[in-house]
Amino acid sequence: MAAQIFSAVLVIVIGVGGCVAYFWGANKLLDLVFPAHGVSGAAAVDNLRRQGLIRPWLFVGPALLILTVYLIYPVIDTLWLSFHDRGGQNFVGFANYEWAFGDREFRNSILNNVLWLAVVPAACTFLGLIIAVLTDRIWWGTIAKSLIFLPLAISFVGASVIWKFIYEYKGEGQTQIGILNAIVTGLGGDPHVWISIPFWNNFFLMIILIWIQTGFAMVILSSALRGIPEETIEAAVIDGANPFQIFWKIMVPQIWGTIAVVWTTITILVLKVFDIVLTMTNGQWNSQVLANLMFDWMFRGGGDFGRGATIAIVIMIAVIPIMVWNIRQANKETGGH
């Protein structure tokens, strides 16, 4: 234990110290190479200008390097792989893409992803907004918010395990331990294997992500709601608006930017949804999604790097426009700072 703490501290010291040493040293070196003192006036001005040109690159250099190695190189390599066969050796052109769009499972995944996109961000944002507004007015609002926020701290796999118990099905004659089946049988209905009902099982999986992400939407929207000037609401009260009109015509438009950011952030998350599907159904019963399909092709059954990479590229292309819009909105919210 002591040794672990020691090595942790050591790593922090070396890491932080290394960064400090790099920035300080690089800056010092720049001053030495292009001195601004002890030279003639014109040379000093020249050197200062050179310093100004070089210094930003020195400071953002390490970050750029790391970004290149860990983000840009993988993107390029994935693109390269998507044009090659399963071993990544022979160039096959667009064959992988042609395969993908003709593949039944791929098309099913696209359809399911679209379903997820249509339902989850909307549900999370809407529920988050409603909860944020309602909990603002009640004394136990903070407790309620904490409880709703809690699932955000649970990993997707952990959450899936919890919900597996909720959807659990036991064979005929056995006691139903899944709470959903317990409720259904308690009300006189028949138990079902919920996650194996094609089409509808998608929604049972979506509920898990909604359960996790509503807390996120709620927290962000709650703080945005607090930022609305109270006087604009009072002015609306004097103007004769009822609570419903105040909510839709005064409050929501004022936090529209935040709603958009929350919506798109969850949208991006949904496009990448993987863990829940893997844990709950592994894509069986028509519940496949792109990320899990990619994982299947990449790492299962010997692996097909070409097809796996192709699916990855498709996901990326789908994410990029939303990402760009998301960043624009976020920048607008903070006034570009």
- With H, G, I as helix, E, B as strand and everything else as coil, classify residue 310: helix
Q: Which is nearer to other proteins, 169 or 247 (CB)?
A: 247
Distance CA 39, CA 69 (A): 40
Answer for which of 108, 176, 185, 254 binds other proteins (CB under 8 A) is: 254
Q: How far is the CB of 46 from other proteins (least distance, A)?
A: 44
Answer for which of 155, 256, 321, 324 binds other proteins (CB under 8 A) is: 256
| CA-to-CA separations, 113 to 120, 121, 203, 228, 260, in angstroms, rounded | 10, 12, 11, 35, 20
243 lies in the binding site for other proteins (CB under 8 A) = no
Tokens representing 331 are 């920048």
Q: Which is nearer to other proteins, 98 or 136 (CB)?
A: 136
Q: Which stretch binds other proteins (CB under 8 A): 19-27, 54-62, 211-219, 238-246?
A: 238-246
Q: Which is nearer to other proteins, 172 or 231 (CB)?
A: 231
CB under 8 A, 24+ apart: contacts of 317-322: 318/113, 318/271, 319/268, 319/271, 319/272, 322/264, 322/267, 322/268, 322/271
**If you ran DSSP here, which 8-state letter would residue 176 be given?**
P
Cβ–Cβ under 8 Å, residues 198 and 250? no
Q: How far is the CB of 334 from other proteins (least distance, A)?
A: 15
Report which secondary-structure segment, H or E, holds 19: helix 2-33
Q: Which is nearer to other proteins, 187 or 238 (CB)?
A: 238
331 lies in the binding site for other proteins (CB under 8 A) = no
DSSP letters for 76-124? HHHHHHHTB-TTS-SB-TTHHHHHHHH-HHHHHHHHHHHHHHHHHHHHH
Q: Which stretch binds other proteins (CB under 8 A): 87-95, 162-170, 244-252, 323-331?
A: 244-252
Q: Which is nearer to other proteins, 251 or 291 (CB)?
A: 251
Site for other proteins in 177-236 (CB under 8 A): 229, 231-232, 234-236
**If you ran DSSP here, which 8-state letter would residue 195 be given?**
G
Q: Which is nearer to other proteins, 9 or 237 (CB)?
A: 237
248 lies in the binding site for other proteins (CB under 8 A) = no
250 lies in the binding site for other proteins (CB under 8 A) = yes
Tokens representing 249 are 């015509």
253 lies in the binding site for other proteins (CB under 8 A) = yes
Q: How far is the CB of 259 from other proteins (least distance, A)?
A: 12
Other Cβ atoms closer than 10 A to 292: 23
Q: How far is the CB of 143 from other proteins (least distance, A)?
A: 22
- Contacting positions for other proteins (CB under 8 A): 229, 231-232, 234-241, 245, 249-250, 253-254, 256
